């Protein structure tokens, strides 16, 4: 009895796990990442880009180099800007079919005004204002008259393409000194690597878009609309204003992409960028943004553009394949990613 009373007290467990907390294995974390409807598609896109680039480097001499990678940005800087604007629209569950025609219209306006002696300092802001106003009109049409985004942007596409032919039915060369200088300027990065001013502009646009979507109330509203417009209204979010503004952003990005494209081609042509709207949509979807909205990242869209660019580069290095094979591969990838999105969203439910 005395021994029992003199025995030291044992600590009493008041709760918590009986042993050390089990750690989630690396394999399980990777599986959770790949099966997540939010991060899964963009992770697959990143892996796909790395794999394709490595395959190109193994197969073709000179492919696996820094300048080849930088050339993906140089050649597709206008498409990156275009995809940024499209990302905003698709995140809300909308679509914009007018962006390719607006790119062409921007080039035609720039070429015609520069030819008559207008200053680039006036022409470029004017283009951005006009294309933003066109986006505003599309957004108001969708909001006020309840027109489906597909129809409203299709009408804007025909309007913009028609205005191209009103300006001129043939190509207009750009000989303005500022545009020519921007077209030929290379910014050295050291080690025989270089980029163009268009790449800098595209990177700035991407950085601003990332900040807007992830650090502002407007960005949170964009995601909320894509997740459920009625829920956004019940939460007191400015749904109507945001739906209109995403088309203004898309119009602005289309105008800026058109300006960057003129730096690349130094001309305006009515048939420019036919089908480019489909490339932008494909890049956004391949980059992991759901067509129904609510999920997606701007950086994912950039990855989508790079995937399209590296496929085109491989076909160029191959030399024996037609450029139409790019469309075939893009179509196949688009189909695969749409199926992947369906599978991941179904699992989430």
Tell whether the model's pLDDT for residue 30 goes beyond 90: no
Find how far residue 236's CA is from the centre of its chain: 28
For 172-185, the pLDDT digits (tens) are 999 999 999 999 99
CA-closest candidate to residue 238, choices 221, 216, 253, 262: 221
Domain boundaries, the chain: 65-288+298-342
Q: Which residue has the higher pLDDT, 126 or 344?
A: 126
Strand ranges in 127-213 using DSSP code E only, listed in sequence order:
172-173, 187-190, 193-195
Residues 6+ apart with CB under 8 A from 137: 156
Asked if CATH classification 3.10.530 holds for the domain at 65-288+298-342, the reply, yes or no, is: no
For 93-114, the pLDDT digits (tens) are 999 999 999 999 999 999 999 9
pTM of the model: 0.89
- For residues 53 and 51, give the distance between their C-alpha atoms in angstroms, rounded to a whole number: 5
For 181-232, the pLDDT digits (tens) are 999 999 999 888 999 999 999 999 999 999 999 999 999 999 999 988 888 8
- Strand (E) or helix (H) holding 307: helix 298-318
Helix (H, G, I), strand (E, B) or coil at 189: strand
Tell whether the model's pLDDT for residue 37 goes beyond 90: no
pLDDT at 236: 87
């Amino acid at each position: 009895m005395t021994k029992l009373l003199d025995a030291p007290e044992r600590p009493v467990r008041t709760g918590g796990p009986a042993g050390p907390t089990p750690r989630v294995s690396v394999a399980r974390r990777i599986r959770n990442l790949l099966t997540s409807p939010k991060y899964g598609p963009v992770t697959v896109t990143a892996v796909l880009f790395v794999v394709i680039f490595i395959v190109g480097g193994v197969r073709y001499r000179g492919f696996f180099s820094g300048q080849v990678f930088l050339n993906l940005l140089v050649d597709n800087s206008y498409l990156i800007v275009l995809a940024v604007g499209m990302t905003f629209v698709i995140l809300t569950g909308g679509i914009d079919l007018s962006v390719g025609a607006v790119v062409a219209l921007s080039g035609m306006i720039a070429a015609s005004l520069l030819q008559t002696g207008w200053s680039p300092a006036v022409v470029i802001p004017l283009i951005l204002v006009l294309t933003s106003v066109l986006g505003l009109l599309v957004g108001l049409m969708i909001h006020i008259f309840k027109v489906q985004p597909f129809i409203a942007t299709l009408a804007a596409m025909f309007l913009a393409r028609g205005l191209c032919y009103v300006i001129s039915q043939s190509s207009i060369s750009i000989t303005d000194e500022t545009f020519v200088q921007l077209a030929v300027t290379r910014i050295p990065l050291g080690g025989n690597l270089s980029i163009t001013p268009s790449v800098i502009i595209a990177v700035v646009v991407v950085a601003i878009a990332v900040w807007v979507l992830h650090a502002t109330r407007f960005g949170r509203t964009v995601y909320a609309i894509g997740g459920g417009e009625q829920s956004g209204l019940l939460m007191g979010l400015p749904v109507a204003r945001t739906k209109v503004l995403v088309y203004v952003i898309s119009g602005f990005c289309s105008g800026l992409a058109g300006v960057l494209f003129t730096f690349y081609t130094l001309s305006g042509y009515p048939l420019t960028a036919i089908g480019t709207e489909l490339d932008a949509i494909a890049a956004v979807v391949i980059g992991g943004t759901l067509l129904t909205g609510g999920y997606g990242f701007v950086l994912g869209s950039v990855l989508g553009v790079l995937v399209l660019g590296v496929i085109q580069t491989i076909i160029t290095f191959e030399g024996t394949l037609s450029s139409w094979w790019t469309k075939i591969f893009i179509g196949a990838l688009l189909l695969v990613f749409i199926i992947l999105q369906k599978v991941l969203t179904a699992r989430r439910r």
